[in-house]
């Protein structure tokens, strides 16, 4: 017989990632998931060995400013296994976004590893909208570094933060 799961627990979803920085592709996934779940936690992974542009704390502020219009979304920072965090907050769903075929292999292996670590937690893969298919935090940083146009790629608080960093670095 199927194991009974508390209905309330299924209503929290955790969306883990680096978000260095958050893009409009991430925002779109969060808006869509926030319509389905009671509570969505955007979880910034603190990974000491990953080179990042923004500190986790700045990333958190940028995400909060960019998602101020969503009242059931929270932002948190976590170092360690995402499944441990999900268990702690009673979330039964991990959300990930899927863009190109190249995302697939990585996402599948991570979903399987998480399922092994926490069999009760399900990974929900949400397809990126076509207009955000090409968009990644990495490409955004590249555009910003070369003073390219950022509107349509990232929310305005992120645009401002990127402009500040890369204006400073611009050679006169
Ligand atoms: P990670 O470093 O863990 O891959 P990211 O911050 O790059 O974290 O991405 C977090 C999640 O959001 C991943 O599942 C990624 O595939 C997804 N994602 C990234 N960019 C987009 C986008 N443009 N549209 C939809 N999903 C995206």
Nearest to residue 54, comparing CAs of 131, 149, 154? 154
The residues with which 45 forms a beta bridge, in sequence order, are 78
Q: What is the pLDDT of residues 72-99, one digit of tens each?
A: 999 999 999 999 999 999 999 999 999 9
Q: Is the pTM above the cut of 0.75?
A: yes
Provide the mean pLDDT of the chain: 93
Pocket around ligand 1 at a 6 A CB cut-off: 17-19, 23, 25-26, 29, 96-97, 99, 103, 128, 132, 135-137
pLDDT-based confidence at residue 33 (cuts at 50, 70, 90): very high
Cβ–Cβ under 8 Å, residues 122 and 93: yes
From the list 3, 50, 88, 170, the catalytic residue is 50
Q: Token pair for residue 143?
A: 């555009």
Determine the residue of 24, 25, 155 to mutate for testing ligand 1's pocket, defined as the one with the most ligand atoms within 8 A of the Cβ atom.
25
What is the predicted pLDDT for the residue at 168?
65
pLDDT-based confidence at residue 9 (cuts at 50, 70, 90): very low
What is the predicted pLDDT for the residue at 4?
64
What is the predicted pLDDT for the residue at 48?
85
Cβ–Cβ under 8 Å, residues 144 and 166: yes
What is the predicted pLDDT for the residue at 1?
62
- Residues 29-55 have a mean pLDDT of 95
Q: What is the pLDDT of residues 97-155, one digit of tens each?
A: 999 888 999 999 999 999 999 999 999 999 999 999 999 999 999 999 999 999 999 99
What is the predicted pLDDT for the residue at 167?
85
Instruction: For the sheet with 73-78, list strands across it.
Output: 73-78, 39-45, 12-17, 93-98, 122-127
Q: Token pair for residue 133?
A: 């298919």
Long-range contacts of 128-131 (CB under 8 A, 24+ apart): 128/25, 128/28, 128/29, 128/97, 128/98, 128/99, 129/25, 129/28
């Amino acid at each position: 017989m199927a194991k009974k799961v508390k209905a309330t627990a299924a209503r929290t979803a955790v969306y883990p990632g680096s978000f260095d920085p958050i893009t409009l592709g991430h925002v779109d996934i969060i808006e869509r998931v926030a319509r389905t779940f009671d509570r969505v936690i955007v979880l910034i992974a603190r990974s000491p060995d990953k080179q990042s542009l923004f500190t986790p704390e700045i990333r958190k502020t940028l995400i909060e400013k960019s998602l101020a219009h969503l009242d059931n979304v929270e932002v948190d920072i976590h170092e360690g296994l995402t499944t441990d965090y999900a268990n702690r907050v009673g979330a039964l769903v991990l959300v990930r976004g899927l863009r190109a075929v190249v995302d697939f292999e990585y996402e599948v292996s991570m979903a399987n590893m998480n399922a092994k670590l926490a069999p009760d937690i399900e990974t929900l893969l949400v397809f990126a909208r076509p207009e955000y298919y090409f968009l990644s935090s990495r490409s955004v940083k590249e555009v910003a570094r070369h003073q390219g146009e950022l509107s349509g790629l990232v929310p305005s608080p992120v645009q401002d933060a990127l402009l500040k960093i890369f204006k400073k670095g611009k050679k006169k």
